[in-house]
Structure 1
């Protein structure tokens, strides 16, 4: 029984989601910071006089701040979520779900900013959740992803 528990613990550890640590912190900090800066700027501009700014312009400024904040939230939300069936990769704009049999290899080399998956259809898939900016932890996560792919290839 202990052996089964140990194996299921290792499998569960392999299946933890992949998320960028530094990328997430930087994206959320920039998103919140720019929103506060643009909001303060919109409030401090003069309401009357020769250089006055009207309500429509202020609301437009806040709309731009919301749009930039949404973009930063997409940067902060990149992740790769493994399941028993495959890997769901959420990058900035696109989310793609791959079955384990579609993933041929995991690449993370020298100057690459993030992990790339070689797929059976020949279309590489970036996994931005494992980024070089995270340093040594990113290397370990790339190795974990490679072990996970190998685990599912052996299982099938």
Structure 2
């Protein structure tokens, strides 16, 4: 994603996907443990009918899927814009659509202000990651500034 404003190594670093650290580890661990405990519970309960066992397993699988989905949130930059995968929805925004990047106090994750007046949460950069999240927010703001710059940038 060389754009002529940085070294190739810097451009590659800027173009790396944005992923949370703490939430990813926690939710993957919780999902695996919950699913394992659900299976152990089904095997340990005497007299559990097949439909009841299937219901327990289906519920355990649903919780594990939710945890996996939370662990897979990210934002992936490309030549045309940013693909934002949040908990339930995935959206691609072009660089020109992004007006600003905000990560002020009280925000759980980065928010993008869009040209149409809307905002878009970027759950791939989460406050729970502390200093790493601050660094990632700055990296995203730098990337947006570089990719949306025009010859006459008013």
- TM-score scaled by length of structure 2: 0.92
Which residue of the partner structure matches residue 124 of structure 1? 119
Which residue of the partner structure matches residue 72 of structure 2? 77
CA distance in 2, matches of 1:68, 1:155: 46
Where does 1:104-123 land on structure 2 (aligned, <5 Å)? 104-123=99-118
Stretches of structure 2 lacking an aligned partner (at least 5 in a row): none
The answer to which structure has the higher helix fraction is: 1
Which residue of the partner structure matches residue 131 of structure 2? 136
CA distance in 1, matches of 2:146, 2:63: 40
CA distance in 2, matches of 1:25, 1:9: 28
CA distance in 2, matches of 1:123, 1:75: 23
Which residue of the partner structure matches residue 58 of structure 1? 53
Matching of residue 29 in structure 1 with residue 29 in structure 2 = yes
* Rg comparison, structure with higher value: 1
Which residue of the partner structure matches residue 143 of structure 2? 148
- TM-score scaled by length of structure 1: 0.91
How many residues end up aligned between the 2 structures? 147
Deviation of 1:84 (Å)? 1.2
Stretches of structure 1 lacking an aligned partner (at least 5 in a row): 48-52
Coordinate RMSD, CA, aligned? 1.3
Which residue of the partner structure matches residue 68 of structure 1? 63
Equivalent position SS for 1:19: coil
